[in-house]
Chains A and B, each alone.
Chain A
């Protein structure tokens, strides 16, 4: 069973494919293909059920798994079903399948939101007469139904729970250091057992013989000194090994975290736009930052401490039983109970932690809601109301922390009481043996007993660490999952085997039978064909969502078309070296992005060795030079995060200067002037006019006036180029799409737009 089937079964308790009986039945149907299917999980009485809506290239069927056979509840020729009506409810959706117009009504199905994404695909396929699917019906169903779960789990399925092992692979380059660190850790923990042993021997071999006059004073002193030197040596060695362990493992942890950060950042640069549209930048930053930090914590301390704790407990048990089996057993036997008590406490604390965490998330969401909106709070004079709301939420959280602290502060003295009870038990068992004559085989020496008492104090720490193993592992695994999700993501745009690097770029562009869809179902571009000659300026116009921006994204190779070919100077774009494409295809976006740094660093981004005169010339051409020099620090002015210290128009002109300096042969302008006032637009337009000279330019603009210099205009509607020609030619088409758009803007803005 594949992992998707298993996840669907375990997580959603439903089938991952159509019942086998259906395929048996279906096999006899002549050349009919199942395109899509979906589970219908609610019946007419709104009880859970397992029915399947199946779309083939010929029919639409609703089947139900009966006791011993498949029942077909509805079956219609696909061509008859023309329309699907949707009734949205809070917790379910109803789809009604109808013929043309408002009837005839065939049947309706109801399902929970879990099935909605899949049902939307089916609805689209029915209404848009889709007869070809890229994936098999089962694959489409499984990936759609699991998508929210896989995304929540950072796209790591159960089979990838070897994340921890993969994480440990990062230790490989530091194998030697790890071996030294781990050996030091184990040596340190075993040496910790020596002082208690030596103390016992000191009492039995020196103190008591001296007190009973079996040893002379000088000899006892000499022997005592030897033991004390031994103790000093043991303590020094122990601390030496601990120092070695801490030093090496914390540095290894940092190295691994640094390697992970480098790998992550390097890998992120290779990923396609699709990935960044799915992931928030905040989430990526936290993966590079706090998740790698957690990994450091786990490697530097977690792995070692758990190993040392287990080693110490085993070592203690062996030593205790070797020294005195009965007494040792009395100390070792309570260990499982103490471990259980710690586990039980952990479970209790988990519940309290969940409560505190929930209340804390209320506090933080209040903060993240109110602080960015503080101006609105002030304008409406709601400061005291907000303070009151915050105080209440803060109080709720604080009270939870009281419960949390009450519990652990009560538990630890109780646990210690448990440990002390073991000590008392030891006293109880040992006292008669301590008082028995020395020749009694059961006699226990004071030294052995003292060493037992000292060993008892060593038990608490490993118990505590082992009690935290599960929490520590879960935290590290979560972080490892989040990191490996990125590292496992591959750029969906593979490199061609034979890479072309033409000596020069002329700027000829060709789209040949280009189809593209963001979700592989709803086509955004449908068989787009056009040719642009070098140096031409093309204006792309049309309604929002028509596919204009998609054309520029395909040309900049942010995405690849699903079928068809895009050519630059006759070369297939997929075969051109990506760096060559980046160098020769430049983009000016609607919302320019400036990095934190000086203005000149932002202008020279992509061309860091540009000369000062070139930079100034580019800024002048972009109408940016004058405003830059009005700033006290000129080109050395540091622009804040995302360039927020500048106005929108100023940021745009810097981005245009960047494009001018970059000097691409093909320039893509995506709504470059849409977000600015008229005066700024004029300045930007002037800059763009200079920029487009001697370049092939594709410009998208809602304001048709900005395209007045375009050689040709292409009107895009619903994924197709519906009109192409000069402004004059297109306006002349009385019932044309462009003429309509032009008239609408003319009415709104008044006066001449392009003349």
Chain B
């Protein structure tokens, strides 16, 4: 089993032939199977191990991995839609997220992608991802504004 630890600098590492290697974690299925199949790679992108589940790891390693996976899975979650305005070639969204209020833009013919029942993903012009976890659970006004784009 691969050894995973944080070195004194706080970097995710493993040890190979007594040498410390900084680890990069790449989820194989970041959307469809969030809770498994992680490729552990070195700095050059060479796969050192394929982890099918963090559950198989010892407690200490699991905690380190869970922390890293939370960081890797971070996306901006839309709690409330304040405004959607259409402009020449652009659609402006003003939304409230757990990180704060954010304005972003999409192309007019880019639509929120349906990821599951009530679950939508919007990618803005800069590549930032905004998730609507459950459309039905949103407030009435947000639903009214969003409805043409997701219903």
A residues whose Cβ falls under 8 Å from a Cβ of B: 11-13, 42, 46-48, 85, 87-92, 94, 96, 98, 102-105, 112-114, 116-117, 148-149, 152-154, 156, 350-352, 354-355, 357-358, 361, 474, 477-478, 481
- Contact check, A94 vs B71: say whether CB atoms are below 8 A apart: yes
Interface residue B143 (Cβ < 8 Å from any Cβ of A)? no
Contact of B88 among A92, A354, A481 (CB under 8 A): A481
From 61 to 87 in chain B, residues with beta carbon under 8 angstroms from any chain A beta carbon are: 71-76
Taking CB as reference atom, which chain A residue is nearest B106? A152
Name the B residues within 8 Å of A354 (CB-CB).
148-149
- Contact check, A89 vs B103: say whether CB atoms are below 8 A apart: no
A114–B104 Cα gap in the complex (Å)? 9
- Contact check, A153 vs B90: say whether CB atoms are below 8 A apart: yes
Interface residue B51 (Cβ < 8 Å from any Cβ of A)? no
- Contact check, B10 vs A105: say whether CB atoms are below 8 A apart: yes
B residues whose Cβ falls under 8 Å from a Cβ of A: 7, 9-11, 20, 22, 24, 30, 43, 71-76, 88-90, 92, 98-105, 107, 109, 111, 124-129, 147-149, 151
Min CB gap B104→A, angstroms: 8
A42–B105 Cα gap in the complex (Å)? 19
A174–B45 Cα gap in the complex (Å)? 64
Name the A residues within 8 Å of B71 (CB-CB).
87, 89, 92, 94
**A-B interface, 6 closest residue pairs, ranked by CB to CB distance from nearest:** A105-B9, A91-B75, A48-B100, A113-B127, A148-B125, A114-B126
A46–B76 Cα gap in the complex (Å)? 10
Min CB gap A357→B, angstroms: 8
- Contact check, A113 vs B148: say whether CB atoms are below 8 A apart: no
A12–B101 Cα gap in the complex (Å)? 11
Contact of A351 among B22, B127, B148 (CB under 8 A): B148
A87–B102 Cα gap in the complex (Å)? 23
- Contact check, A116 vs B127: say whether CB atoms are below 8 A apart: yes
- Contact check, A11 vs B76: say whether CB atoms are below 8 A apart: no
A409–B75 Cα gap in the complex (Å)? 43
- Contact check, A148 vs B126: say whether CB atoms are below 8 A apart: yes
Q: How many interface contacts (CB-CB < 8 Å) are there between A and B?
A: 103
Min CB gap A35→B, angstroms: 23
A42–B76 Cα gap in the complex (Å)? 11
Contact of A47 among B11, B20, B99 (CB under 8 A): B99
A663–B69 Cα gap in the complex (Å)? 62
Name the A residues within 8 Å of B7 (CB-CB).
102
- Contact check, B72 vs A90: say whether CB atoms are below 8 A apart: yes
A474–B90 Cα gap in the complex (Å)? 12
Contact of A478 among B89, B125, B126 (CB under 8 A): B89
A153–B151 Cα gap in the complex (Å)? 27
Name the B residues within 8 Å of A87 (CB-CB).
24, 71-72
Contact of B90 among A90, A94, A116, A149 (CB under 8 A): A149
- Contact check, A96 vs B11: say whether CB atoms are below 8 A apart: yes
- Contact check, A481 vs B149: say whether CB atoms are below 8 A apart: no
Name the A residues within 8 Å of B126 (CB-CB).
112-114, 116-117, 148
- Chain A CB within 10 Å, residue with most, of B88, B90, B98: B88
A12–B104 Cα gap in the complex (Å)? 7
Taking CB as reference atom, which chain A residue is nearest B75? A91
Taking CB as reference atom, which chain B residue is nearest A156? B88
- Contact check, A361 vs B99: say whether CB atoms are below 8 A apart: no
Contact of B100 among A47, A113, A114 (CB under 8 A): A47
* Given known A11-B92, A113-B126, A354-B148, contact A89–B100 (CB-CB < 8 A): no
Q: List 21 A-B contacts (CB under 8 A).
A: A11-B105, A13-B102, A85-B22, A87-B71, A89-B74, A90-B30, A94-B71, A96-B11, A105-B11, A112-B128, A113-B127, A113-B129, A117-B126, A152-B89, A351-B148, A357-B109, A358-B149, A477-B88, A478-B89, A481-B88, A481-B89
- Contact check, B149 vs A474: say whether CB atoms are below 8 A apart: no
Contact of A114 among B107, B128, B148 (CB under 8 A): B128
- Contact check, B129 vs A152: say whether CB atoms are below 8 A apart: no
Contact of A11 among B10, B99, B100, B103 (CB under 8 A): B103
- Contact check, A13 vs B103: say whether CB atoms are below 8 A apart: yes
- Chain A CB within 10 Å, residue with most, of B22, B30, B128, B149: B128
Name the B residues within 8 Å of A478 (CB-CB).
88-89
Contact of B99 among A42, A153, A156, A358 (CB under 8 A): A42
A105-B11, A148-B126, A478-B88 given; name 13 further pairs at CB < 8 Å. A89-B73, A90-B30, A91-B75, A94-B71, A112-B126, A114-B124, A116-B126, A152-B89, A152-B105, A152-B125, A153-B88, A354-B149, A355-B148
Taking CB as reference atom, which chain A residue is nearest B84? A354
Contact of A149 among B10, B105, B109 (CB under 8 A): B105
A352–B148 Cα gap in the complex (Å)? 7
A11–B104 Cα gap in the complex (Å)? 7
- Contact check, A351 vs B88: say whether CB atoms are below 8 A apart: no
Name the A residues within 8 Å of B75 (CB-CB).
90-91
Name the A residues within 8 Å of B72 (CB-CB).
87-90
Min CB gap B121→A, angstroms: 10
- Chain B CB within 10 Å, residue with most, of A47, A149, A350, A474: A149
- Contact check, A351 vs B74: say whether CB atoms are below 8 A apart: no
Contact of B89 among A90, A116, A117, A154 (CB under 8 A): A154
Taking CB as reference atom, which chain A residue is nearest B150? A358
A721–B106 Cα gap in the complex (Å)? 44
Min CB gap B82→A, angstroms: 12
